[in-house]
């Protein structure tokens, strides 16, 4: 998979080359390009923003800089992702969709965001998603790109040491994952639940499913409401 990011703060994307993502690059599983938007400016100040039409506070990123930048970076097979708090929510399902793409291009907004015509124009040539990583407002799109790329890359074949761990994570079956424990058996008077030490895998699976159901009902009842019909069996409904 090829990942390109266009930003006015290329150094903000340095963590893409660290830890799990860095190893994926070293092993040739992903190719990452980070591009300084100011390379497409032509004035001495290298300005990328201008005052908004209609007035109001803040500045808007200029289309005549973003347009040529995306023309050059996107190529033939790109899916363009534009982080914005006004976008559709980024979810695990969308992460799986992105993981199946050949080329993802991210356009990092700053200030009040990017002139809407940049997004509308790109959408005439390629799939474009405006996505939000949550109901809060960041200063720029770079942190959102780090979040999205990490969620996507860990789903690529060969990236995680044990691919089963991604299959069992929160959201894969529509529920939050329950609690996890490791050694020692008792720590600060708190014991690991007996059943996890029983070696009885049928009971352990049931216990994990019950804790996942409980946790989801308590913290994210919206997820239970969104489960497809028939997802819960009789034992689930008893929880
Ligand atoms: N005026 C915009 C609004 O109210 O929708 C907010 C712009 S925000 C200050 C600047 C940039 O930060 C956005 O263009 C986007 O790239 C990024 N950003 C902020 N919050 C975000 C979020 N929740 N998800 C994704 N990107 C976000």
User: What is the predicted ipTM?
Assistant: 0.99
Closest atom of ligand 1 to 107 CA is 16
CATH 1.10.1270.20 domain locations along the chain: 168-237
- At 206, which helix (H) or strand (E)? helix 201-219
Give the confidence band of 165 by pLDDT, cuts at 50, 70, 90: confident
Residue pointed to by tokens 């959102």: 144
- Each residue's pLDDT tens digit, 58-101: 999 999 999 999 999 999 999 999 999 999 999 999 999 999 99
What average pLDDT does this structure show over 16-33? 94
Check 36, 85, 101, 150 and give the catalytic one.
85
Question: Pocket of ligand 1, candidates 109, 131, 139: which has the most ligand atoms within 8 Å of its Cβ, to mutate?
Answer: 109
**Lowest-confidence segment of 2-11, 12-21, 77-86, 117-126 by average pLDDT:** 12-21
The top-level CATH class assigned to 2-153 is alpha beta
168-237: CATH architecture: Orthogonal Bundle (1.10)
Q: Which of 29, 45, 28, 46 is nearest to 37 (CA)?
A: 46
- Each residue's pLDDT tens digit, 112-134: 999 999 999 999 999 999 999 99
Per-residue tokens: 82: 């534009």
CATH 3.40.1280.10 domain locations along the chain: 2-153
Residue pointed to by tokens 């789903």: 155
169 is catalytic: yes
pLDDT confidence of residue 216: 97
Q: How many residues does the chain have?
A: 239
112 is catalytic: yes
pLDDT confidence of residue 237: 82
Question: Widest CA span of the chain, in angstroms?
Answer: 70
pLDDT confidence of residue 168: 81
Q: Is the Cβ atom of 7 under 6 angstroms away from ligand 1?
A: no
pLDDT confidence of residue 238: 82
Q: How much is the pTM?
A: 0.95
């Amino acid at each position: 998979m090829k990942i390109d990011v266009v930003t006015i703060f290329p150094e903000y994307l340095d963590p893409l080359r660290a830890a799990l993502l860095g190893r994926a690059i070293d092993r040739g599983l992903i190719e990452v390009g980070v591009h300084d938007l100011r390379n497409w400016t032509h004035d001495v100040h290298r300005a990328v923003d201008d005052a908004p039409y209609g007035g109001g506070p803040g500045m808007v990123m200029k289309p005549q800089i973003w347009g040529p930048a995306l023309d050059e970076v996107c190529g033939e097979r790109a899916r363009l992702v534009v982080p914005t708090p006004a976008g559709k929510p980024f979810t695990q399902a969308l992460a799986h969709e992105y993981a199946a793409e050949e080329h993802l291009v991210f356009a990092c907004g700053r200030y009040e965001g990017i002139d809407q015509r940049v997004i509308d124009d790109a959408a005439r040539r390629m799939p474009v998603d405006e996505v939000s990583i949550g109901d809060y407002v960041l200063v720029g799109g770079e942190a959102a790109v780090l979040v999205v790329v990490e969620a996507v890359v860990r789903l690529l074949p060969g990236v995680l040491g044990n691919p089963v761990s991604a299959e069992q994570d929160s959201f894969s079956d529509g529920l939050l994952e329950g609690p996890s424990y490791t050694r020692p058996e008792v720590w600060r008077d708190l014991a690991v639940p007996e059943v996890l030490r029983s070696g009885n895998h049928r009971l352990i699976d049931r216990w994990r499913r019950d804790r996942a159901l409980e946790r989801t009902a308590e913290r994210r009842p919206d997820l239970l409401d969104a489960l497809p019909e028939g997802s819960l069996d009789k034992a689930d409904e008893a929880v």
